[in-house]
Chain A
Amino acid sequence: MQTENTKGLANYILIFGFLIVVTLPMVFTLIHKQEDISSREKRKLAPLPAFSFDEFWDGAYQQKFSQFYQDHFGFRQKILSGAREFRRGAWNKSLSRNVIYGDDEWMYFNIDGTLHDYTGYYTQNSQDSSLWLQGLDIKNRWLAQLGVRYLLVPIPGKMNVYPEHLPARVRDAAGESRLQAFRAELKDSDLEDVVLDLLPTLRKVKNETQVYFKTDTHWNEDGAFIVYQAIMDKLSHWFDDIEPVTPNMIDRGSRMKMGDIAIADGAKAGEMEQTDTLTINNRCANEQSTKVAEFTKTPAYQANPKHLPRANGCTSKKIRALVVNDSFGAYIRKFLSDSFEEVIFMHYYELFDMKSFIEEFDPDVFIDLRAERRFHYLLGTDERMQSELETGKY
């Protein structure tokens, strides 16, 4: 009798515990006010779909409802926080499939096939790097016809700069990345001078100065300044009037930052990284760059109106530069602004579509800052440029 009672107690614990786990999130979903945006995931959450028989019969309603429930089930934020802690503790694995935990709190982002590239998947599977030189050559000659020097600056990915913090299983799987294949092709070619290879520089200085954030995809301000110096050094071989920002013109401070990888990982507000800030003493350029309204007339802007180029510069300087950059441009722009008479920063556009704008702006140099995971996109051959070069009609 007593055994039955004690077994009964164990049964009650199991039954009630199970029913609570199964029903509580559902009940909470019904009574809780739905959020529209997830600050943790940086996206709009799926709304409750309106019922329609048409959508019900073709399955679209069920799909939308499933998305809604995934985004709004009861205690979602708390469960996701628990899931993050569990996965981190049990598997050293992030909640996000795109985030890779390294050692010593280093994090890596696996987007746009970064990991595949790191392991050499693309170079092994018919990615013809020899064609890249052809594309680069055409671009270089086309810009030269416009009187512009071309400088390609592929930005090494964090995995290539700091492979030592990657998990061993990833580090051991390293292969020839697209950038490495490109560097091999470039070696001893006529185009070597057009490309600034940052990898040796960054790897050399990283033991003295941390050049990339631990919890962000990008270089930190120190990294940006080192890259800036490398660019200026390169340009000083091409132009006599280069006057770069020097280390003694820099003031150091510090701040806390939550990196983009930490955000994608679902990090809490307190999980921030301390980083140095670099400020230029007595800046000659403006604090804020100004929008370049003239660019709205170009086909390049019509095709991609999201980002309007921005201009800055120092009237005391001589060289004019056009800089194409992605999110890596964030910390380097202030140094570049202080180094040119006028500099325009812009996001990626079809170069050929910018022809009239380039002619009007008349830069001395075109600097193409491109993240490693995307640099191969710009090495395709533009047939319109090729045709102009072949026919001699510009």
Chain B
Amino acid sequence: MLYCISVSWLFGLLLDNAKNQATKLRRLWFAISLLIAPLFVYKYLNFVTDNLNLILGDNELDISTLHLPIGISFFTFQALSYLVDVYRSPGTAQRSVLNLGLYISLFPQLIAGPIVRYHEISRQLIERVTSKSLFASGVERFIYGLAKKVLIANPLGQIADIAFSLPADSLGVTAAWIGITCYALQIYFDFSGYSDMAIGLGRMFGFKFSENFNYPYVSRSIREFWRRWHISLSTWFRDYVYIPLGGNRTAGWRVTRNLLIVFVLCGFWHGASWNFLIWGLLHGVFLALERSSFGRLLDAIPAFFQHCYVLIVVLVGWVFFRSTDLNQSLDYLSQLVQISKSFTVSPAIAIEMDAQFWFAITVGCFFSLPIFQKTSHWIQSNVLASSSTNMNTMIAIGKSTMLLILIFPIVFEIASGAYNPFIYFRF
């Protein structure tokens, strides 16, 4: 990270001081390669050598396993964003290495995003407002995020883990669908929970981070899905890769090419494996298809079927995303369509479907839809706006109290992971 900060700071100043456009461009590319190099070495070198060994048929290229620095994908992308923004807007280079270090190492979102863009945050690095109400709003957001992670994502993740660890023959169609549904909810509540915590922590310190999720599972097209899912990543790719490639202002086939390039890169950004590549490619292909006559057909069908289409594509994508390798993905997909088999839930899954699971999946489904958000907005504008001050006071205090009460089950669930009895004490 220190390397990343140093390179970004130095080349930011060099970009600002460049005498002409050609020098500036050369410096930008050089800086980008310097920033990408550690990401490549830590995250992708093993993947490349493994595949070269496969192609060459020997194991001569042996790279000892490197520990991946935590958050490297996020802070590298933030550093790249800084350099491209400086390149595009002369005179914006950060003179203070400390301020730039703060931007790149900003701890709330360092590990799991959202990816913060330099031009969005440059002013806040120098002058930001902190207040009691912002801090309280940050606490509220943080608690919601932690609750999403601990009370919804974690229990559903246990079911998904079992489903993906079972031999394909033991899984069966029902358990396969339960497993992938749990995973879809797990990844959403886990990731959006972390984003909420980052946004909340940011608010406590006076930073305003952009939203990262907006109910992605209500989308009616894959295009809409990517406007709602990991928004900071999709907009990063849009602004720094897709548009520079020509975006959608080029001939039809070039748009398709650009989409596929962006989503293959997006897949690889998530991890160095063929599964991530296929996951990205799958989304890229459907995005390209939606720009063709298939998209027009999709627009014409009822909304219910549009939702079904998106959910099926996304769930199939998650199979590749969650599986450890291609064989496992294909085995799992084969179980999803194994309708000739019994619909009985695999015992390994059935025994885990306890009250906590039912709570998590019910609440998870409910909160993956904007029902609560819309209802609270409606109450805010139609009931509370016209309520007496006393009523508003009571409600505000009641809400704070409820949030504090919500911390208890969260703490209990986290603490339960620390309970580790020695089960053989009798023997």
Residues in A lying within 8 Å of B, measured CB to CB:
2-3, 6-15, 17-18, 21, 40-43, 59, 70-71, 73, 76, 79-80, 82-83, 86-87, 90-93, 95-96, 98, 109, 111, 115-116, 119-121, 124-125, 167, 169-170, 172-175, 217, 260, 263-264, 266, 326-327
Contact = CB atoms under 8 A, between A and B. Distances in A.
A15 B347 CA distance: 45
Given A11-B133, A119-B347, A264 B421 contact: yes
Given A7-B396, A79-B412, A90-B409, 7 more contacts: A9-B393, A14-B139, A21-B407, A115-B351, A119-B348, A121-B347, A326-B427
A7 B397 CA distance: 8
Contacts of A8: 132-133
A24 to B, nearest CB: 11
B354 A92 contact: yes
B421 A43 contact: yes
B96 interface: no
Interface in B117-134: 132-133
Given A13-B400, A76-B418, A119-B347, A125 B167 contact: yes
Nearest to B390: A6
Nearest to A9: B397
Contacts of B427: 326-327
A14 B419 contact: no
B309 interface: no
B211 interface: no
B420 interface: yes
Interface in B315-365: 345, 347-348, 350-351, 353-356, 359
15 contacts: A3-B393, A14-B400, A14-B404, A18-B407, A43-B420, A80-B419, A83-B411, A86-B412, A87-B416, A95-B416, A96-B423, A111-B423, A169-B353, A172-B350, A260-B425
B16 interface: no
A116 B348 contact: yes
Contact of A119 (B136, B143, B351, B408): B351
A79 B415 contact: yes
Given A3-B389, A9-B397, A18-B139, A90 B411 contact: no
B7 interface: no
B355 A263 contact: no
B140 interface: yes
Contacts of B426: 217, 260, 327
Of B167, B403, B420, most A-chain CB atoms within 10 Å: B420
Contact of A80 (B143, B354, B415): B415
A369 B422 CA distance: 24
Contact of A173 (B351, B392, B412): B351
Closest 3 CB pairs of A and B: A119-B347, A6-B393, A10-B396
Contacts of B404: 13-14, 17-18, 21
Per DSSP, chain B at the interface is helix
B170 interface: yes
Contact of B420 (A2, A9, A41, A90): A41
A83 B420 contact: no
B364 to A, nearest CB: 15
Interface string B371-400: 000000000000000000100110011011
Nearest to B137: A11
A15 B200 CA distance: 12
Contacts of A14: 136, 139-140, 400, 403-404
A109 B423 contact: yes
Contacts of A41: 419-422
Contacts of B411: 21, 79, 82-83
B136 A43 contact: no
A83 B348 contact: no
Contacts of B412: 79, 82-83, 86-87
B400 A10 contact: yes
A15 B139 contact: yes
Nearest to A173: B347
A345 to B, nearest CB: 14
A93 B345 CA distance: 21
Nearest to B357: A91
A98 B347 CA distance: 17
A226 to B, nearest CB: 21
B20 interface: no
Nearest to B360: A91
Given A42-B422, A83-B412, A10 B350 contact: no
B249 interface: no
Interface in B95-138: 132-133, 135-136
B422 A43 contact: yes
B356 A10 contact: no
Given A6-B389, A6-B396, A18-B143, A125 B354 contact: no
Contact of A15 (B67, B135, B350): B135
A17 B400 contact: yes
Contacts of A43: 420-422, 425
A167 B354 contact: yes
Contacts of A90: 355-356, 359, 409
Nearest to B151: A90
A8 B426 CA distance: 56
Nearest to A101: B354
Contacts of B418: 70-71, 73, 76, 80
Contacts of A17: 400, 404, 407
A92 B356 CA distance: 8
A100 to B, nearest CB: 9
B400 A11 contact: yes
B401 interface: yes
B93 to A, nearest CB: 34
B413 interface: yes
B198 to A, nearest CB: 16
A6 B392 contact: yes
A13 B401 contact: yes
A43 B423 CA distance: 9
Of A17, A59, A174, A175, most B-chain CB atoms within 10 Å: A17
A92 B143 CA distance: 24
B416 A121 contact: no
B346 to A, nearest CB: 8
Contacts of A263: 421, 425
A168 to B, nearest CB: 10
B408 A86 contact: yes
A12 B135 CA distance: 10
A41 B416 CA distance: 12
Nearest to A20: B404
A169 B178 CA distance: 15
A64 to B, nearest CB: 15
A175 B136 contact: no
A253 B350 CA distance: 42
Nearest to A264: B421
Contacts of B139: 14-15, 18
A96 B417 CA distance: 9
B127 to A, nearest CB: 23
Given A8-B132, A15-B139, A86 B354 contact: no
A13 B143 CA distance: 14
Nearest to B355: A91
